[in-house]
Amino acid sequence: MLIVMDKTASEAEIAAVVAKIEALGYTAQTIPGGERMAIGILRNPGPVDPALFIDLPGVIEAIPVSRSYKLVSREMKRENSIIVLPQGVKIGGGHFVVMAGPCAVESELQAFTIARAVKAAGAQVFRGGAFKPRTSPYSYQGLEEEGLKILARVRDEIGLPVITEAIDHYSLDLVEQYADIIQIGARNMQNFSLLRRAGQARKPVLLKRGMSATLDEFFMAAEYILAEGNTQVILCERGIRGIGAHARNTLDLAAIPYVKKESHLPIIADPSHAAGRRLLVPPLARGAVAVGADGLIIEVHHDPTHALSDGPQSLYPEQFAALMRDIQTLRPGQWL
């Protein structure tokens, strides 16, 4: 923490800041500048809240210096983390992954139809929701455990590891049993109770960035999972609140190289939820590959007109296959 004083701050005001720092048990170091005094806080075991100082007389700014996150940071672990799934699929460190499937598992026939199509096109993980977080209580809410059983059969018969979302402790207990990756959705990125529970799971966790989360907040959410002992975390950029209505959200592709610089965890992109409409999914998917994402998670449906959720942003299987071919030309996994 650095406390910046007003040019006209009195010696008494400076002394009061120093006294407060020392009252908190830290060490204060005054740093005289050209025009004004600054005061550094040393020997603080963790971050200090700037708001403790900003309204003191003579203070014009209080600037945090330390990072709040530890375990997710490259300062803690230099080399890229690589998540290894059943069937040998690897994610991160140059291993590029595509997860694809419907928004929601609707039936065994639907799931198998789509799973076969996405596998044929080259997807390595099958996605499908069994517990759906929906804006409206009147919307389709998912098949719940029956959906998880269908996912398990897809994995066993088709040979794709499966990812599905948990929305509370109850569903996480079930998802942990059936799935290969536990997804935590954007709306739950700061559901800290759920994050802790995911941290106790023995399966990898895909954590989506919240719609208005800073990357620091995103890292801190992941930190909750790692702090409970689960280091198998995959981050996912899925779009933030933007300006205008041309897309549902704004896919923040700058987040990807930034996360890769700051953290050892892999990060993938979800162009489907960011776009909200089919037209924009393939270009955003290509863009994510080209900025260096470690993978993609994409919604695909063989009959999106009748999909029970998110049909409009789901690719047709042939569009997905074309996208997979396009992606190959973009050197996925090579952009570090």
Residues 198-257 that bind a second copy (CB under 8 A): 211-217, 220, 223-224, 227, 240-247, 250-257
Q: Which two tokens stand for residue 6?
A: 């007003």
For a second copy (CB under 8 A), the number of binding residues is 109
Of 122 and 242, which has the nearer Cβ to a second copy?
242
Binding mask 142-161 for a second copy (x = CB under 8 A): --------------------
CA 70 – CA 226 distance, rounded (Å): 10
CA 255 – CA 153 distance, rounded (Å): 35
Positions 48 through 107 that interact with a second copy (CB under 8 A):
49-52, 54-55, 60-61, 63, 65-68, 75
**Which of these segments, 80-88, 97-105, 155-163, 193-201, binds a second copy (CB under 8 A)?**
193-201
Of 102 and 161, which has the nearer Cβ to a second copy?
102
**Which of these segments, 98-106, 148-156, 191-199, 229-237, binds a second copy (CB under 8 A)?**
191-199
Min. distance of Cβ 261 from a second copy in angstroms?
Answer: 7
Of 120 and 170, which has the nearer Cβ to a second copy?
170
Please select the residue that binds a second copy; options are 10, 22, 87, 170, rule is CB under 8 A. 170
Min. distance of Cβ 99 from a second copy in angstroms?
Answer: 19
- Do 162 and 152 meet the contact criterion of CB atoms below 8 Å apart? yes
Q: Beta strand 205-208 with 181-184: parallel, antiparallel or unpaired?
A: parallel
Min. distance of Cβ 110 from a second copy in angstroms?
Answer: 18
Main-chain dihedrals φ then ψ at residue 15, nearest 5 degrees: -65, -35
Please select the residue that binds a second copy; options are 16, 18, 40, 82, rule is CB under 8 A. 40
CA 68 – CA 298 distance, rounded (Å): 32
Residue with the two structure tokens 């071919």: 325
Of 127 and 278, which has the nearer Cβ to a second copy?
278
Sheet containing strand 2-5, strands side by side: 27-32, 37-42, 2-5, 59-63
Q: How many CB atoms lie within 10 A of CB 306?
A: 10
192: Cα separation from own chain's centroid: 14
Q: Which two tokens stand for residue 220?
A: 């801190």
One-character DSSP codes across 243-258: SSSSSSSB--TTHHHH
Please select the residue that binds a second copy; options are 16, 44, 140, 145, rule is CB under 8 A. 44
> What is the DSSP-derived secondary structure letter of residue 3?
E
Per DSSP, what are the bridge partners of residue 40?
2, 29
Of 71 and 115, which has the nearer Cβ to a second copy?
71
Min. distance of Cβ 12 from a second copy in angstroms?
Answer: 17
Please select the residue that binds a second copy; options are 205, 267, 274, 300, rule is CB under 8 A. 274
CA 268 – CA 206 distance, rounded (Å): 9
CA 116 – CA 154 distance, rounded (Å): 9
CA 149 – CA 178 distance, rounded (Å): 7
Min. distance of Cβ 97 from a second copy in angstroms?
Answer: 18
Binding mask 284-323 for a second copy (x = CB under 8 A): x-xxxxxxx------------x-----xxx----------
Please select the residue that binds a second copy; options are 12, 34, 79, 202, rule is CB under 8 A. 34
